[in-house]
Chain A
């Protein structure tokens, strides 16, 4: 029971367990073992840069957990041609937390920033949105893990509002307007990367608005932008870009809609 209490004290534990399970599933079931050295670089990189920050007194000891989550996030979503790029992504991801700051809030989710910037700038990195199969059980597992994380983090509403809005918009476009079979709609959502993204990345309490209804509105906006980029501008990795565009608004939103600041440790 003591262990359970430790786990519940910080939602990042669940997130680490969740993301590690998906990484293991990828390694064993999707043939990702070929990327193993890259995963090591991503995690080692993130953790080392965070340790540097801790050493210089910029962060506290338990922020290593966040760095680990960043490393796992990079491993799950980013693919690169050279290990050095993975380390660069980790440096960008961790570094931006300490460089771009407004009233103690950072502007971007670290992994999202690292992935986005590297894909945009290096020309040697990419995201494979379909690397997760359309297997329901994978989706279910991701959803379940995500649920634990979000319940502990009390941020389930971001995921719910984002998922529901996107689902609705897609239903309107594909099933109602275009007249495709419902399977075409379902195909969009029965996808591991979508759930992984919804559950683990957009719900980061550090980069979502603190006030409850503002946060929900923000999630709806994010879904609308994602839908626009993905289905009207035909960008397959839209979720990454819309999050990259909208999270910088969050510190300002928090400035106007003040609420109690999020703390990882309860």
Chain B
């Protein structure tokens, strides 16, 4: 224990001028971030795709929890500060700094993906191929550590500094408090400005015996380390609570915020226990024109699905067994390399896990729809899932489509494209601009155009407002039934459903009549 050093440190802390403080549970860095899409789509995806995005990596094994909070804070680093409620006082060795690259790699690997298929021209022999995406390269950096453990102090605010560390470029305090006013005053007097709304939510955390993990940037250390970007902070602890506190973060934001949660477990998927976890529609054929605009398309899709589900759900974007020694396919198609041992170590996965399951969730939260913090559980559900969309390139024209099969192909292409447009409407809740041109692009190769195709389907269909999601049973039930009946992939379900209903009826009937 270096007392002198500690006092200096404490003095520095007090001298700090008032900073603009953002409070968040996870990472309050509400700034634009890039949404890395696979291969050549990277450049096409809009950098501001999801504003207000934060990222978190969770590792959970029994009660052992590792949380890595990614920051894409874009402002002046001296303004950076965050307050995170944690269930226990963390020891120095339970806090570390990891390389930002881990988030980029996990994001690249698990992003919603676009698969590309090619038709062949039946009048010209060729093979169908599926094109895989290029792997982006990854960069690794070493963790830098030079820390000093501090002793505790009791203040008249009723705030106890349980521990104080410098980890990498951050000054970290672990506070416990008796009451919220004291904590608020302490934070204010020490240069952290608390939004008025946040005060109200401090008290419940104090009373549930949570500690406060308070972080700000140590400019000297940052200069020494030579980083210009804030690196993610990782904490490890043992506690039965498996949750992410969101409420503090909502205090300084009026709108909705996006959070991507990457989770590693030994058994299977992580799911939310107090909000419904919903799979995004996947394996849908979408119009080829979206190949260049996959990012914006996915954003529209997400917006609509979020509204449709009532704005209070957690979306599943990816779930896969990523055990390095497991021989199966890690993705289809892969949009980024699957995580490797070094990534697992960095995320906090214990090296002797024999099985690693990865889950990616996307939650868009706001004050009105998420009154309580997110709580999770680990399930043994090891079913793979990926948000995957498919574009199909039409057959190369060569000498046209004059043969009989060629004519048939062009005819089916028109119908297929109509289905793709319907799919677009179902996914995004709006008509795709340029629909008719897309659908009729190859019609000119047809020798005779069917009468009904002359009808102006989709003509002048405006790119309307996104229709509002409707959970009114009078509307939702007929719509859902209609979807089940008309979607080919669900017809099998219909047979099962009829069997189920039949079974129930027969059993009820037999429970009266049958004599064995």
- Give the B-binding residues of A (Cβ under 8 A): 13, 16, 20, 23, 27-31, 33-34, 36-37, 39-40, 43-44, 47, 51, 54-55, 61-65, 67-68, 72, 79, 81, 123-126, 128-135, 137, 174, 177-181, 183-184, 186-188, 191, 233-237
Evaluate contact between A184 and B273: CB separation under 8 angstroms.
Answer: no
Q: Is the CB–CB distance between A130 and B516 below 8 Å? A: no
Interface string of B378-400 (1 = CB under 8 A from A): 01111100000000000000000
B194-207 Cβ-contact flags toward A at 8 Å (1 or 0): 00000011011001
Q: Which residue of A lies closest to B312 (CB)?
A: A134
A181 CA to B242 CA in the complex, in Å? 21
Find chain B residues with CB under 8 A from A23 CB. 500
Besides A36-B496, A40-B500, 17 other A-B contacts (C-beta < 8 A):
A28-B481, A29-B476, A29-B480, A33-B493, A43-B507, A51-B516, A55-B516, A63-B511, A68-B504, A79-B381, A123-B380, A131-B277, A133-B276, A135-B471, A137-B471, A236-B273, A236-B375
Indicate if the CB atoms of A123 and B267 lie closer than 8 Å.
Answer: yes
B504: contacting residue among A20, A30, A135, A233, CB under 8 A: A20
Q: CB distance A187 to B497 under 8 Å?
A: no
Q: A40 touching B381 by the CB < 8 A rule?
A: no
User: In the docked arrangement, what's the CA distance between A129 and B453, Å?
Assistant: 49
Q: What are the residues of chain A within 8 A of B273 when measuring CB–CB?
A: 128-130, 236-237
B508 touches A16 (CB 8 A): yes
B508:A65 contact, CB within 8 angstroms: yes
Is B271 positioned at the interface, with any CB of A under 8 Å from its CB?
Answer: yes
In the A-B complex, the 5 residue pairs with the closest CB atoms: A183-B371, A236-B273, A36-B496, A64-B511, A33-B493
Nearest Cβ on chain B to A9's Cβ, whole angstroms: 10
User: Is B224 engaged at the interface, CB distance under 8 Å to the other chain?
Assistant: no
The answer to whether residues A40 and B276 also contact, given A20-B504, A65-B508 and a CB cut-off of 8 A, is no
Residues of A near B511 (CB, < 8 A) are 61-65, 68
Determine whether B49 belongs to the interface, using a CB cutoff of 8 Å to chain A.
Answer: no
Query: 10 A-B pairs, CB-CB below 8 angstroms?
Result: A27-B497, A36-B496, A36-B497, A36-B500, A63-B511, A67-B507, A125-B380, A180-B372, A235-B240, A237-B273
Closest to B509 in A: A64
A54 to chain B, nearest CB (A): 6
A159 to chain B, nearest CB (A): 22
Cα–Cα, bound, A129→B276 (Å): 9
Q: Which of B478-516 contact A (CB under 8 A)?
A: 480-481, 484, 490, 493, 496-497, 499-501, 503-504, 507-508, 510-512, 514-516
A43-B504, A54-B516, A178-B208 known; A130-B510 Cβ under 8 A: no
Give the chain A neighbours of B514 by CB distance below 8 A.
61
Residues of chain B contacted by A235 (CB below 8 angstroms): 240
Tell me if B377 and A236 are in contact (CB < 8 A).
yes
**B515 CB contacts on chain A under 8 angstroms:** 61
A30 touches B276 (CB 8 A): yes
Tell me which residues across on chain A come within 8 A of B481, comparing CB atoms.
28
Closest to A178 in B: B204
Interface range for B? 35 or more
Contact B379 A36 (CB under 8 A): no
A128 engages B267 (CB within 8 Å): no
**In the bound complex, do residue B207 and residue A179 qualify as a contact, i.e. CB atoms below 8 Å apart?**
yes
**CB-based A-B contact count at 8 angstroms:** 150
Contact of B508 among A13, A54, A180, A191 (CB under 8 A): A13
CB distance from A41 to the nearest CB of B (A): 11
Instruction: Give the chain A neighbours of B255 by CB distance below 8 A.
Output: none
With contacts A64-B507, A81-B381 taken as known, whether A178 is within 8 angstroms of B207 at the C-beta atoms is yes
Chain B interface mostly: mixed
CB-CB under 8 A from A131, the residues of chain B are 276-277
Please indicate the chain B residues that have their CB under 8 angstroms from the CB of A16 in the complex: 504, 508
B151 an interface residue at 8 Å Cβ cutoff?
A: no
Nearest chain B CB to A147's CB is how many angstroms away?
18
Residues from chain A with Cβ under 8 Å of B382 in the complex: 81
Residues on the A chain within 8 Å of B310, using CB: 133-135
Q: Taking CB as reference atom, which chain A residue is nearest B506? A: A47
Output the least CB separation between B504 and chain A (Å): 6
Residue of A33, A67, A183 near B497 (CB, 8 A) is: A33
Identify B510's interface contact among A64, A188, A236, CB under 8 A: A64
In Å, the complex CA distance between A135 and B311 comes to 11
Which residues of A have CB within 8 Å of B508? 13, 16, 65, 68
Contact B383 A40 (CB under 8 A): no
Inter-subunit contact B274/A130 (CB<8 Å):
yes
B503, A44: Cβ atoms closer than 8 Å: yes
Q: Contact: A128 with B271, CB < 8 Å? A: yes
Residues of B within 8 A of A68 (CB): 504, 507-508, 511
Find chain B residues with CB under 8 A from A134 CB. 275-276, 310, 312
Q: Is the CB of B380 within 8 A of A178?
A: no
Bound state CA distance, A181 and B247, in angstroms? Answer: 11
- The reply to whether B313 and A133 contact each other, CB–CB distance below 8 Å, is yes
Contact (Cβ within 8 A) A130 B381:
no
Q: Contacts of A29 on B, CB cut-off 8 Å? A: 471, 476-477, 480
Q: How far is the CB of A255 from chain B (nearest CB, A)?
A: 30
Closest to A177 in B: B207
| Given A62-B512, A233-B240: A130 and B275 interface contact (C-beta under 8 Å) | yes
CB of B516 within 8 A of CB of A179, answer: no
Is B279 an interface residue when CB atoms closer than 8 A count as contact?
yes
B278 at the interface (CB under 8 A from A): yes
B148 CB within 8 Å of chain A: no
Q: Are A37 and B503 in contact (CB-based, < 8 A)?
A: no
Q: Does B167 reach chain A (CB closer than 8 Å)?
A: no
Residue of A nearest to B493 (CB): A33
Q: Which residues from A are CB-within-8-Å of B204? A: 174, 178-180
CA distance A27 to B503 in the complex (A): 16
Measured in the bound complex, the distance between the Cα atoms of B411 and A228 in whole Å is 65
B187 → chain A, closest Cβ, in Å? 18
A234 and B242 in contact (CB under 8 A), knowing A123-B380, A130-B275?
yes
List residues of chain A with CB within 8 A of the CB of B208: 178
Contact check, A128 vs B490: say whether CB atoms are below 8 A apart.
no
B473 touches A (CB below 8 Å): yes
Contacts of B381 in A (CB 8 A): 79, 81, 126
| Distance between A230 CB and nearest chain B CB, rounded to angstroms | 10
Q: Are B380 and A124 in contact (CB under 8 A)?
A: yes
Q: How far is the CB of B394 from chain A (nearest CB, A)?
A: 32
Closest-by-CB residue of A relative to B489 is A33
For chain B residues 291-316, which have a beta carbon within 8 Å of chain A?
Answer: 309-310, 312-313
Task: Flag B179-204 by CB within 8 Å of A: 1 or 0 each.
Answer: 00000000000000000000011011
- CA A150 to CA B278, docked complex, whole Å: 32
- The closest CB in chain A to the CB of B377 belongs to A236
Q: Which of B311-342 contact A (CB under 8 A)?
A: 312-313
Alpha-carbon separation in the docked complex, A202 to B82 (Å): 45
Q: Which of A37, A47, A181, A234 contacts B496 (CB 8 A)?
A: A37
